[in-house]
Chains A and B, each alone.
Chain A
Amino acid sequence: MPTATKTTPPPLGDQGPVAEQFEAMEQQRQADRMGMWMFLGTELLLFGGTFGAFITYRVIYADAFAEAASHLDLKLGTLNTALLLTSGLTMALTEQLSRAARHKATFWLLIATIAIGALFIGIKGFEWYKEYQEQLMPVLGLTFDYPGNQPDRAQLFFNFYFVMTGLHAVHMLIGLGVLSVIAVLAWRWRDPPRIARQVQISGLYWAFVDVIWVIVFSLLYLLRV
């Protein structure tokens, strides 16, 4: 008995039954993490297509794009960046607490992350609504009435803006759905080691959404006149 107390127990995510195709939990954990990292790599490339195209046009139409960028709401964008990074913090804390098997704390931190994420989507929607009112939304056949120079180029900029932020919002919504499912599982707390693993893997995804937003924010909002 005394020797047993001295050895540190394995982290919670390393416990529980191993899936039938694996030989050991360590192997399963490594496979899960590697799979998620590779998936995120493909997601980065998905966004990368728009980033590459945007940067190309940003160089070709430098002046027009810089001017168009100044019509975006930098304050709301900055607020959203701060919110999303905060949600990254709560998600990282969730991971630690779920591994320490802290039931209630895991659940409430997940709720906090979901709430901040939802707030982000709300603010983003408000921004889009503002742009719709200012007639800066050249999609769905809406009138595009741009007050500055070179409206054609500006239209291209706003096209990119809606594609990039829209695609990012879709990823946020998927993330919110996943986190909601885990929050329900965390509330029931049936299989804590498994929840700890799920939190870790979905935390990777959430961090990825953060990173993508930072790139989107820098490209669209910060490169202005």
Chain B
Amino acid sequence: MSTIALDQRWPRDHYLSSGFRLRDWLLTTDHKRIGWLYFASITFFFFLGGIAALLIRLELITPRGDLLSPDTYNEMFSMHGIIMVWFFLIPSIPNTLGNFLIPLMVGARDLAFPRLNLLSWYIYTIGALFVVLTVLLGAVDTGWTFYTPYSTLFTNTAVLAAATGVFVVGFSTILTGINFMVTLHKMRAPGLTWMRLPLFAWATYATSLIMILATPVLSITLLLIAVERIFGIGIFDPALGGDPILFQHLFWFYSHPAVYIMILPGMGVVSELISCFSRNRLFSYKGMVISVMAIALFGFLVWGHHMFVAGQSMYAGIMFSLFSFLVALPSAIKTFNWTATLYRGRILLTAPMLYAFSFIGLFTIGGLTGIIVAAMTIDVHVHDTYFVVAHFHYVMVGGMVTAYLGGVHFWWPKMTGKMYSEIWSKVAALALFIGFNLTFFPQFILGYQGMPRRYHEYPEDFQLLNVMSSLGAGVLAIGYLLPLVYLTWSLFKGKPAGANPWGATGLEWQTSSPPPKHNFVQIPTVTEPPYAYRDQDNTAPFG
């Protein structure tokens, strides 16, 4: 206890204390400050996309289209999708937590290319400006998928601005991915072998691999959309000999792996949380590493399951169906290993742990319904219904967002040096879990009963479930707004956290909170495997 008591100080000299002018932030090359820049912009876009979602849910309370016009409704779900997928879900964990933590976790002073890192944030911001521009120009109504020929030949909305924004933000993704991979390869501290890396670092590695391999293909696809709209080039236009299905192949070759860009970092975060708060070493570390890499690999082989009804050959469909089933294996390995880690652990129900439990529950439902839609015959029935909407929200929001919030709560003391309200954080975690299930579980039933997605009117039989879903969205909004309040409050009034408030292992907890500018006074040497939680009694979270 005495060492912990010594730690309860707010260090005088840390990365937040040097330089308070605007240019100290906007021209910083410190990975920790860049993490904050992303954190601020991503939070902004999260709530912008959330407002669009709330409008959608408000419209769907009644069967008639009485709140939004059909066009406005189309623009709302398109903006919701575009903002949430490209400006929140994909950059969230890698660019905020990853930026902040990866150099700390590998015992480095910064990422390999600090200036490139800052450039990535500026590229993200430029892309984001295009999306704001899209909103001002009257939005876009193609959905986040920009399907041709609608996006190139028919719609008069601001497809170009939106596609340019996504194209630009893609470069930010690629450069960030390169930065992480080079850092993980070349800058690990002495003794930190690959098999001693924390799983969050492994997950970031796998994610970076997908970012680097998949994003360029999306970029060229969007570029082709743009030249098709501007120059009348007909690579996807059937009238000129092109093929819209080709667009879908290229698009999903990126956008399916992109799902794993969203979920893999979440799995990394949850592995850290589960191990720390069950005071147990992670069950089957190697199995976890292999399954992370296997998910990244299989993710590239399954894009065709988005096109079961789009006119691809039956044999292609069977292969894509089979590969899609295979992704379930490494995912299940991870889930079972988390459960096995909890077994005989000393479980501490902190807020991050509640988020981690939410993640496991919601991700499991999302994953199991994924098997249902991966089966070709059933997919024909539920294709483009709310069943699919519910499925991917369970994975991407139920999985990814809970993991993100869990990670933010876990590393908040490290990032700010402050502790937040114990009670309110638990209330927020519960509100999220309840609100989420109330919102999206009814949509499974709606979809199975045949309510199509993207419609702003529906038969009256579907009203009850839709009202439930909209109510849930309100509860969910509370779950998202609460952290904004008490985390901000903690910045000013929170108690000093100390270097390691959770008693966690890992290099990032060995430096002070907040860390000094160059992370470590002396680069540490690693002598132990990861998650060596053997001292089970000397720590008490939340003081």
| CB <8 Å contact, A163 and B235 | yes
Residues of chain A with a CB closer than 8 A to B109's CB: 20-21
Cross-interface CB contact of A34 among B182, B216, B221, cutoff 8 Å:
B182
Q: Mark A109-122, 1 if CB is under 8 A from B, else 0.
A: 00000000000000
8 A-B pairs closest in CB distance:
A49-B220, A21-B110, A45-B216, A139-B231, A46-B216, A156-B241, A159-B233, A31-B186
| CB <8 Å contact, B241 and A53 | no
| CB <8 Å contact, B518 and A20 | yes
Given A22-B187, A34-B185, A163-B224, A45 contacting B234 (CB threshold 8 A):
no
| CB <8 Å contact, B220 and A46 | yes
Residues of chain A with a CB closer than 8 A to B111's CB: 21
Q: Give chain A's interface residues, CB within 8 Å of chain B.
A: 20-23, 27, 30-31, 34-35, 38-39, 41-43, 45-50, 52-53, 56-57, 61, 138-141, 152-153, 155-156, 159-160, 162-163, 167
Residues of chain B with a CB closer than 8 A to A48's CB: 216-217, 220
Whole-angstrom distance between the alpha carbons of A23 and B189 in the complex?
A: 10
| CB <8 Å contact, B217 and A35 | no
| CB <8 Å contact, B186 and A46 | no
Query: Range of interface residues on chain B?
Result: 35 or more
| CB <8 Å contact, B217 and A139 | no
Residues of chain B with a CB closer than 8 A to A39's CB: 174-175, 178
Whole-angstrom distance between the alpha carbons of A21 and B30 in the complex?
A: 10
Whole-angstrom distance between the alpha carbons of A39 and B217 in the complex?
A: 14
Please indicate which of the listed interface residues A39, A45, A162 has the most CB atoms of chain B within 10 Å of its own CB.
A45
Whole-angstrom distance between the alpha carbons of A159 and B103 in the complex?
A: 45
Q: Give chain B's interface residues, CB within 8 Å of chain A.
A: 103, 108-114, 116, 174-175, 178-179, 181-183, 185-187, 212-213, 215-217, 219-221, 223-224, 227, 231-235, 240-242, 246, 250, 518, 523
- Least distance between A157 CB and chain B CB atoms (Å): 9
Can you list 29 pairs linking A and B with CB atoms under 8 Å apart?
A20-B110, A21-B103, A21-B109, A21-B187, A30-B186, A31-B112, A31-B187, A34-B186, A35-B112, A35-B182, A38-B178, A41-B213, A42-B212, A43-B216, A45-B217, A48-B220, A49-B216, A49-B224, A50-B224, A53-B224, A53-B246, A53-B250, A139-B231, A141-B232, A155-B240, A156-B235, A159-B234, A162-B231, A162-B233
Q: Which residue of B lies closest to A54 (CB)?
A: B235
Residues of chain A with a CB closer than 8 A to B223's CB: 163, 167
| CB <8 Å contact, A21 and B114 | yes
Please indicate which of the listed interface residues B110, B114, B181, B216 has the most CB atoms of chain A within 10 Å of its own CB.
B216
Whole-angstrom distance between the alpha carbons of A157 and B5 in the complex?
A: 73
| CB <8 Å contact, A152 and B187 | no
Residues of chain A with a CB closer than 8 A to B114's CB: 21
- Least distance between B167 CB and chain A CB atoms (Å): 11
Residues of chain B with a CB closer than 8 A to A50's CB: 220, 224
- Least distance between A218 CB and chain B CB atoms (Å): 19
Q: Which residue of B lies closest to A39 (CB)?
A: B178
